[in-house]
Amino acid sequence: GAVVSQHPSRVICKSGTSVKIECRSLDFQATTMFWYRQFPKQSLMLMATSNEGSKATYEQGVEKDKFLINHASLTLSTLTVTSAHPEDSSFYICSASGTGNTIYFGEGSWLTVV
């Protein structure tokens, strides 16, 4: 079945630095991908819709200059957390629609900012 892969699964970075998370659709093309953030013991909150070849659509309250999204190909979307702060520490997870019009989630990426 369709698979969505995220990398890295875990990352630790220092405050003030930037970190990139990749989301790949392995056996299908995804013109649209979605990025979610999940704080411990909370729900998945939609951050943005990643559109191949065009600008991402951000949800209200999500800073587009802090969370840079690039969807340069039909199989890859990247989320870059810029100038990371400890409060950005969270579980970030992407999703994409694959064959059979089914939503597939990546494995998620744990970000810890120290």
Partner 1 sequence: GENVEQHPSTLSVQEGDSAVIKCTYSDSASNYFPWYKQELGKRPQLIIDIRSNVGEKKDQRIAVTLNKTAKHFSLHITETQPEDSAVYFCAASITNTDKLIFGTGTRLQVFP
Contact footprint for partner 1 (CB under 8 A): 32, 34, 36, 42-46, 49, 60, 91, 93, 95, 97, 101-103, 105-108, 110
Q: What is the CA radius of gyration of the chain?
A: 13
Nearer to partner 1 among residue 34 and residue 78 (C-beta): 34
Q: Give SS3 for 79.
A: strand
Minimum distance from CB of 16 to partner 1 (Å)?
Answer: 26
Token readout for 113 is: 């900012």
**Cα 63 from Cα 72, distance rounded (Å):** 20
Minimum distance from CB of 18 to partner 1 (Å)?
Answer: 23
CA nearest 21: which of 97, 114, 112, 101? 112
Minimum distance from CB of 75 to partner 1 (Å)?
Answer: 16
Amino acid letter for position 18? S
Nearer to partner 1 among residue 49 and residue 70 (C-beta): 49
Nearer to partner 1 among residue 32 and residue 82 (C-beta): 32
